[in-house]
Amino acid sequence: MEKENSGAKQKLACDVAVIGGGPAGMISAIQAGKEGASVVLIEKNKTLGKKLLITGGGRCNVTNAIFDNRTLAQKYGKKGKFLLSPFSKWSAQDTIDFFESCGMPTKEEALGRVFPQSNLAQSVLDVLIDELENANVKIITDSPVIKIKAVNNKIVSIETADAVINANAFIITTGGTARPETGSSGDGFKWLKKLGHTISAPSVALVPVKTKEAWVHRLQGLSLPNVKITLIDAKARGEARIGKILFTHFGLSGPLVLGMSQAIGEAMREGTPALELDLFPALDQVMLDEKLRAHLAKVQNKKWANALAGFVSPLLAPVLVELSGINPTMPVNIIPRVARIAFVKKLKALTITPTGLLGVEKAIVSSGGVALEEVDFKTMRSQKIENLYLAGDILDFDRPSGGFSLQICWTTGFVAGRSAGVYNVR
Ligand SMILES: Cc1cc2nc3c(=O)[nH]c(=O)nc-3n(C[C@H](O)[C@H](O)[C@H](O)COP(=O)(O)OP(=O)(O)OC[C@H]3O[C@@H](n4cnc5c(N)ncnc54)[C@H](O)[C@@H]3O)c2cc1C
């Protein structure tokens, strides 16, 4: 690393400059350093990994335990094909092996979600910071990059308020636009557009959904692990999906709803869709009626208002009593069969009306980003700028929740760092 203090700004020279100290930037800087390159990592915030620390509710879902790369790639929809080559270099297993080998044991939870055993995102950040130090990466924080200078399809330097940094290769890992207060405010998109890249308009994805019905809001805090949701719009019943939902004071969240939010947003742009919730997806109507009858037989002398305790969660029971339309003071043993069957049907098809999506300030990831066709996925090198590499949320992937966003960061960051690290090393 060369330093010079000429004029107002300090001049730095290195092999690789990485812009953005999130997970993708940190892993790429580590890998470029391991390749023997001198590396500078420049971060806008006072500290690295601000968004990383809020991932997984502060527990950081580092990856998903899918160990077949084709199956893993399919999780990203049609664009998953771009990830096959990078996954062959850094897979979900490699993520687990990396953190475990750095002294951070992991554990697998429901739906293959992998977390640090400590349940702390800080453990993940600690590993990355230690590894940055081991790879001799120079870290510059509190320094937004404000300018990128390119000549003849090559970046020659970048500037912060205090320094001009020259490098042989550059990696941009400034993230998307979700949760801008963490630093990812879309700076990279502006630069890359100027440098000739196509940026598909960033919009929110994996975002909670606002809903109309007051009873939904009253269930705030209730989490149901196994619900089926069907999105119904003017044209058709969409594909039904099963998973975990969380009721909030404004509507619905949880992995299933986050994963459907993009489709819900699109349906709302075209009309007034509805969400149909099946609270008992494992049982058909006859089986559910049998289960309910067996339960009611045990509480025959109770009033309907108190009859559902033990059948569903205590928070849900009074809401379902209200939605049933059955008089709450009616003794269970005189509830007409037709009313019971209508209630069973309701349990399998509760209608909820989405009224909007929460904005970037609540999004987990933003969709949109650099067009994938403009990146060579064998190296993560830009096809527009010869010495530029890209990784992480800046790329236009659709990511389901469950550790899949961070897996893209580890994988593409590793490949970008490895390629940039050997790019014309001085
Ligand atoms: C609430 C929440 C929970 C999440 N939970 C999970 C989870 O459990 N599992 C999962 O897989 N994914 C999760 N995600 C998604 C995951 O956090 C992102 O996919 C990941 O952080 C993207 O990493 P990145 O390095 O590409 O970008 P970022 O993490 O956004 O980092 C980009 C960095 O670049 C810096 N930067 C921006 N502009 C400049 C500039 N001009 N100069 C210098 N630096 C700049 C920013 O300050 C920032 O530090 C979650 C996201 C949110 C918001």
Residue 99: predicted pLDDT: 98
pLDDT in tens, 280-327: 999 999 999 999 999 999 999 999 999 999 999 999 999 999 999 999
Any domain includes 173: yes
219 and 186 in a single domain? The answer is no
On whether both 30 and 84 belong to a single domain, the answer is yes
Measured in whole angstroms, the distance separating CA 184 from the mean position of its chain's CA atoms is 14
Q: How far is the CA of 102 from the centre of ligand 1 (A)?
A: 22
- Mean pLDDT of all residues in the chain? 94
In a domain, 277, yes or no: yes
Domain-located, residue 276: yes
The four Cα atoms 190, 192, 193, 196 give a dihedral, to 10 degrees, of: 160
Nearest to 157 by CA among 143, 172, 168: 168
Q: In this predicted structure, what is the pLDDT of residue 5?
A: 58
**For residue 230, is pLDDT > 70?**
yes
Q: For residue 295, which of 312, 278, 314 has the smallest C-alpha distance?
A: 312
Please give the pLDDT value at position 172: 98
pLDDT mean over 115-130: 98
Q: How many domains does the chain have?
A: 2
> Where is pLDDT greater, at 179 or 124?
124
This complex has an ipTM of 0.99
Q: Are residues 75 and 43 in the same domain?
A: yes
Instruction: Point out the domain boundary residue: 316, 339, 358.
Output: 358
Q: Which of 358, 384, 401 is the last residue of a domain?
A: 358
**For residues 425 and 389, is the Cβ–Cβ distance under 8 A?**
no
Position 6 pLDDT exceeds 70:
no
Distance 22 CA to ligand 1 centre (A): 5
Q: What is the pLDDT of residue 394?
A: 96
Tell me what the mean pLDDT of segment 176-188 comes to. 90
Mean pLDDT of 118-145: 98
| Cα–Cα dist 330/336, whole Å | 10
CATH of the domain at 393: 3.50.50.60
Asked whether residue 12 falls in the same domain as residue 134, the answer is: yes
Residues 295 and 230 in one domain: yes
β-sheet bridge partners, residue 247: 252
Is the same domain home to 343 and 298? yes
Q: Are both 197 and 222 inside the same structural domain?
A: no
Residue 81: per-residue pLDDT: 97
Based on the domain organization, do 416 and 347 belong to the same domain?
no
Query: Of the residues 330, 358, 386, which one is the last residue of a structural domain?
Result: 358
Same-domain status, 276 and 417: no
pLDDT at 361 (0 to 100): 76
Average pLDDT over residues 93-122: 96
- Within this chain, do residues 266 and 372 fall inside the same structural domain, yes or no? no
Same domain, 131 and 192: yes
- The conformation of residue 384, written as its DSSP 8-state character, comes to S
User: How far is the centre of ligand 1, averaged over its atoms, from the C-alpha of 411 (Å)?
Assistant: 15
Cβ contact 200:238 at 8 Å? no
Query: Same domain, yes or no, for 274 and 397?
Result: no
CA of 207 to the centre of ligand 1 (A): 15
Percentage above 90 pLDDT, the chain: 84
User: With the C-alpha atoms ordered 240, 243, 248, 253, is the resulting torsion angle positive or negative?
Assistant: negative
User: Are the beta carbons of 420 and 37 closer than 8 angstroms?
Assistant: yes
In the prediction, which pLDDT does 426 show?
44
Does residue 199 sit within a domain? yes
Ligand 1 interacting residues, C-beta cut-off 6 A:
19-25, 42-45, 50-52, 54-56, 60-61, 144-145, 173-175, 178-179, 183-184, 187, 364-365, 392-393, 403-406, 409
Domain hosting 229: range is: 208-358
Question: Does some domain include residue 426?
Answer: no
Confidence of residue 243 (pLDDT cuts 50, 70, 90): very high
pLDDT score, position 1:
64
- What average pLDDT score do residues 124-138 get? 98
Q: Token pair of 339, please?
A: 């009313």
